[in-house]
Amino acid sequence: MDLFRSKRVLALAAAAVCGVGFAGQADAAPTLLYSTSFDTPAAVPEWSSNYWRVEEHGQFGIFNGRYSQGWTALSLNIPNLGPASGPTGAGTYAVNRFTVVFDLFIIDSWDAANSYGGFDHFLVSANGQQVIDWGFTNTGGQQRNPLTPSRSGTDLGFSPTAPDSIYRNVTLTFDLAPGQNLFLKFYDQNLGGVSDEGWGIDNVSVYGEALRVPTPSVAMGLTAGLSLLGRRRRVK
């Protein structure tokens, strides 16, 4: 579980402990702020200047990539997401919660963590704040990510001597302070170049909603109290 999901779980648990209601939060649908499949060759000023669009290729179709020792970024102007739903009062604060959904292509001989290839990273940051740092392998190394590939174990395009993996509907959730626009960066570390290891993304959607959530200190304290109460009950 990544850092931002952990915070959300703690916040929900804390609200349950202290009887704070999340009226309207569960029922309110996040607003779709942006979506693209990269299928048309039109200008995309919302993407960084080093954006690269690959035409139809193997099982990957048309996508944003290939990158290796590189990055691509999406810049969005975020509108007012409306009044924040959730708990009110002392010990709460307002956030804009974003959910990003995309397909991830891990191409060729990624090694993840092993004794000879190092740790092949794929990372995402939002306004400079790291959201994920995951390791992937197509060659039998140690996976360092929570995902299950939709397709893997064979060449899906590009190098015929190396397998590839496709991960559909990768979903990331994170919070930013209200009033900020979004700079979402996708990048890698420790890759050996596109002739060896590469990646791309496709079908990117960004959703947003305005929420009020318990402060981290309140959430942590109340969740710790809940855990202690559970232990005492088990002792009895």
* Cα–Cα distance for residue pair 209/216, rounded to 1 Å: 19
* Cα–Cα distance for residue pair 73/68, rounded to 1 Å: 14
Question: What is the reported pLDDT for 116?
Answer: 57
Backbone angles phi, psi at 17, to 5 degrees: -65, -45
Are 15 and 185 a contacting pair, CB within 8 Å? Answer: no
Closest CA to 212 of 53, 112, 123, 90: 90
Per-residue pLDDT of the chain (236 residues; tens, 9 = 90+): 443 443 443 333 333 333 333 333 445 689 999 999 999 988 899 999 999 999 888 899 999 999 999 999 999 999 999 999 988 888 899 999 999 999 999 999 998 876 555 689 999 999 999 999 999 999 887 899 999 999 999 999 999 989 999 999 999 999 999 999 999 999 999 999 999 999 999 999 999 999 999 987 654 444 454 455 455 544 44
Where in the chain does DSSP place strands (E)?
31-36, 53-57, 61-67, 71-76, 92-108, 113-114, 118-119, 121-126, 129-135, 151-154, 164-176, 182-189, 197-214
Question: What is the reported pLDDT for 99?
Answer: 98
pTM beyond 0.85, yes or no: no
Q: Report helix, strand or coil for 170.
A: strand
Q: Does domain 30-217 have CATH number 2.60.120?
A: yes
Question: What is the reported pLDDT for 8?
Answer: 40
